Amino acid sequence: MSRRSLLLTVCVVTISSLLLDYCAPSSDLPKGPTAVWDLVIIGDSSLWRLGPAYASQIESDVGVQVTLHDFALPTLSAGEVLQVLQIGQSGRAQLEQLPDALKDAEVVVMFVNLNDSVDPANPNELGACFVSSPPGLCGPETLEKWTSDLEAIWAEIFSLRKGEPTILRGTDLYNPLVSSWIENGVFEACTVCWENMSNAARLASEAYGIPFLSRLDSFNGPNHDEDPRQKGLIVSDGQHPSDQAAQLTAQLLGQMGYDPVPQP
């Protein structure tokens, strides 16, 4: 090979490498006081109040500006979220904005319920625990459809992000009913159901290497027998998180760091 040919070859390889680097998604999140991160909260009412608290936590910890897109909606289920991500349609106009919000999201936190993730062959019957009654079937096999739907949602989020760095965080559901369960003699049975639900959500996150925050552990203690109402973590309706709970959750999320989750 002549010296001229060798130089041309080197130039072509170098230019090709530069083009590949230019086209590849950045592996770093923007930083600095002028950088803006989009935070997307996807949840049922158990994530009310978290959005503003976590946005403030990120701004304090990282030193960036945060734009909040709060999709913590009453009774929001995994099935409903999966539908809007797959076909772009929902009975809630606000939820139809979720796919576009996720395209720009540097940070996503999710907990959505299992109401629309029922396997007729293995129906989950933990709903009785919400009224402190003895539950029916709630073993791990009854939650496999929900786990599958959660995994599918995470997959859709990765697809919408197109390889851009994204901080993803999964969580579970705290138990606001400890005292009521004890009074009605269903604490042990319902706690097993709640722990199975927590594990099912964790499995979906772990399938993609997504860090998981257990609010069941944080609000209810390691044995899941502490009443968050007595800690000021639940508002007067007896079920939903207080400002104090939102601050606690935001702080715990902040302690998990701000590393993006690798693309699967």
User: What number of other Cβ atoms are within 10 A of residue 257's Cβ?
Assistant: 9
Res 157 pLDDT > 60? yes
Q: Which domains does the chain have, with CATH numbers?
A: 32-255 (3.40.50.1110)
- What is the SS3 assignment for the chain? CCHHHHHHHHHHHHHHHHHHHHHCCCCCCCCCCCCEEEEEEEECHHHCCHHHHHHHHHHHHHCCEEEEEEEECCCCEHHHHHHHHHHCCCCCCHHHHHHHHHHCCCEEEEECECCCCCECCECCCHHHHHHCCCCCCCCHHHHHHHHHHHHHHHHHHHHHHCCCCCEEEEECCCCCCHHHHHHCCCHHHHHHHHHHHHHHHHHHHHCCCCCEECHHHHHHCCCCCCCHHHHCCECCCCCCECHHHHHHHHHHHHHCCCCCCCCC
What pLDDT shows up at residue 226? 98
Give the integer Cα–Cα distance in Å for 130 and 48: 18
Would you state the structure tokens that stand for residue 263, as one six-digit string? Answer: 């693309």
Give the pLDDT mean for 7-36: 55
Q: pLDDT, tens digit, for every residue of 108-148?
A: 999 999 999 999 999 999 999 999 999 999 999 999 999 99
First-to-last CA distance in the chain?
42
Give the integer Cα–Cα distance in Å for 171 and 34: 30
Q: Are 74 and 110 in contact (CB under 8 A)?
A: no
Res 13 pLDDT > 90? no
Per-residue pLDDT band for 27 (boundaries 50, 70, 90) equals low
Give the pLDDT mean for 239-244: 98
Total-model pTM:
0.89
What pLDDT shows up at residue 115? 95
State what percent of residues in the chain have pLDDT above 70. Answer: 90
Nearest to 44 by CA among 147, 102, 114, 135: 114
Res 14 pLDDT > 50? no
Res 17 pLDDT > 70? no
What pLDDT shows up at residue 228? 98
Q: pLDDT, tens digit, for every residue of 58-116?
A: 999 999 999 999 999 999 999 999 999 999 999 999 999 999 999 999 999 999 999 99
Nearest to 116 by CA among 136, 93, 146, 144: 146
What pLDDT shows up at residue 152? 98
What pLDDT shows up at residue 96? 97
What pLDDT shows up at residue 236? 97
Nearest to 41 by CA among 86, 105, 116: 105
Q: pLDDT, tens digit, for every residue of 166-216?
A: 999 999 999 999 999 999 999 999 999 999 999 999 999 999 999 999 999
